[in-house]
Amino acid sequence: MRDVAVVGIGMIDFGELWEKSLRTMWAEAALAALTDAGVDSVDMVTIGCMSPGLFAGQEHLASLLADELGMAGVPAARVESACASGGLALRMAFAEVAGGLSDTVLVTGVEKMTDVDGADATFALGTAADQEWEGFHGITFPGLYAMLAQVHMQRHGTTSEQLAAVAVKNHANGLLNPHAQYHLKVSVEDVLASTMVADPLHLLDCSPVTDGAAALVITTVERARELGSERPMVKITGSGLATDTMALANRNDLSQLDGVRLAAERAYAMAGRKPEELHVVEVHDCFTIAEIMTTEAIGLFDPGFGASAVDKGLTSLHGKIPVNPSGGLKSKGHPVGATGVAQVAEIATQLWGEAGQRQVEGATIGLAQNMGGSGGSSTVHILEVAS
């Protein structure tokens, strides 16, 4: 396998972008990444997008979006794995470059979610659950994650206040991210006073519906050197992918996310790294309980200790292992197909030392974890500054 480097990133501001279409958001992020990398052509384009047909009435994104950049003829592929679509788009591109099929790939993620009403958005997102065994009976994703939270609370003593502390931390980080959907400081009291969505999850425990796009340019280390950037060389050293049962009823233990754990183990093995070597982490906090369970699954904390770690400030911006310095899905926003790409863009920014007020001092090794549905699929990527 060839070594693979990230040489450019592009992001647009996330939010309710009424004036922008799916294609214009995507093109803006893609062009920004190409400009940042200093390249004007690529060998392939990958597009992470969960449900453009239901959200925007547009399928066949590979042809549409390659043409939007004037790249008709270039190989392109839309990749789908629910909310892990962006992470899988990177995994596919990484394999292309590492395996020698392509030298330079434009990796993108996009979702236009606000052109439909709330009921239609809920339906579209619900397709990432088991329709026969879950959706048919009326369960939605807040309900599914509420069940995970209830089990975690019963098994480990996790409290609603600890869930709220995740939202407080991530909104504090989001205040420092110009691309974040919400620049909003919240307190534990604010979270607990917000509307109950699915017990124990309040409205401020949930990530928002978001429009957005993000992009990366990845290439071989040799090509990266030829580009002559003054930035540190940031390599993708580990890539892990795994699935779990989609229906929660079929899982052995609802207090753990086995798909995330397996993806992380595979990424660590490829990179030759251990959790304790990480300096900065982005995880899929679609709900506050998801961050707690994910930090346990990727090995940052033992089962049951992810919540107390937040209490102790271990995952804060200046803590032992900063988690979601971008603000996470909770504050930055969650345009589902774009999220996995945006997470890796944040890690690259941190490793380049370009994160400004949210910079994690001395970060040279980072991890990004992206998750589909209630953990039915997960990608994990490890990035590090080349020695």
Task: Give the Cα separation of 167 and 297 in Å (integer).
Answer: 19
What is the reported pLDDT for 387? 78
> Which pLDDT score, from 0 to 100, does residue 67 have?
97
Domain 4-117+209-227: CATH architecture, name and number where available = 3-Layer(aba) Sandwich (3.40)
Distance of CA 155 to the CA centre of its chain: 27
How much is the pLDDT for 127?
Answer: 93
Catalytic annotation, pick one of 171, 279, 334, 381: 334
Q: Do domains 4-117+209-227 and 139-207+236-385 have the same CATH topology?
A: yes
DSSP-assigned beta bridge partners for residue 358: none
Identify the active-site residue in 83, 152, 206, 286.
Answer: 83
Q: What are phi and psi of 279, to 5 degrees?
A: -110, -25
Look up residue 323 and give its amino acid. Answer: V
Task: List, in order, residues 6 or more apart from 324 with CB less than 8 Å away.
Answer: 169, 170, 173, 281, 282, 283, 285, 291, 315, 330
Element (H, E) at 156: helix 141-156
Task: Please spell the DSSP secondary structure of 128-152, one letter per residue.
Answer: TS-TTTTGGGT--HHHHHHHHHHHH
Residue 160 confidence (pLDDT): 98
Domain extent listing, the chain:
4-117+209-227, 139-207+236-385
CB atoms under 10 Å from CB of 115, counted, come to 15
Cis status of the peptide bond prior to 200, with omega within 30 of 0: yes
Active-site residue flag, 83: yes
Task: Tell me what pLDDT residue 360 has.
Answer: 98
Q: At 213, list the tokens.
A: 């796009």
CB 197 within 8 A of CB 142: yes
One digit per residue, the tens of pLDDT, for the chain of length 387 reads: 999 999 999 999 999 999 999 999 999 999 999 999 999 999 999 999 999 999 999 999 999 999 999 999 999 999 999 999 999 999 999 999 999 999 999 999 999 999 999 899 999 999 999 999 998 999 999 999 999 999 999 999 999 999 999 999 999 999 999 999 999 999 999 999 999 999 999 999 999 999 999 999 999 999 999 999 999 999 999 999 999 999 999 999 999 999 999 999 999 999 999 999 999 999 999 999 999 999 999 999 999 999 999 999 999 999 999 999 999 999 999 999 999 999 999 999 999 999 999 999 999 999 999 999 999 999 999 999 997
Query: Which run of H or E residues covers position 193?
Result: helix 188-193
- Could you tell me the fold of the domain covering 139-207+236-385? Peroxisomal Thiolase; Chain A, domain 1 (3.40.47)
End-to-end CA distance of the chain: 18
From CA 307, how far away is CA 198, in angstroms rounded? 19
Q: Where does residue 272 rank: exposed (0-12), middle (13-18), buried (19+ CB within 10 A)?
A: exposed
Burial of 354 (0-12, 13-18, 19+ CB in 10 A): exposed
Q: What is the pTM of this model?
A: 0.98
Is-catalytic flag, 286?
A: no
CB 8 within 8 A of CB 39: yes
Helices and strands: H and E segment counts in the chain: 14, 11
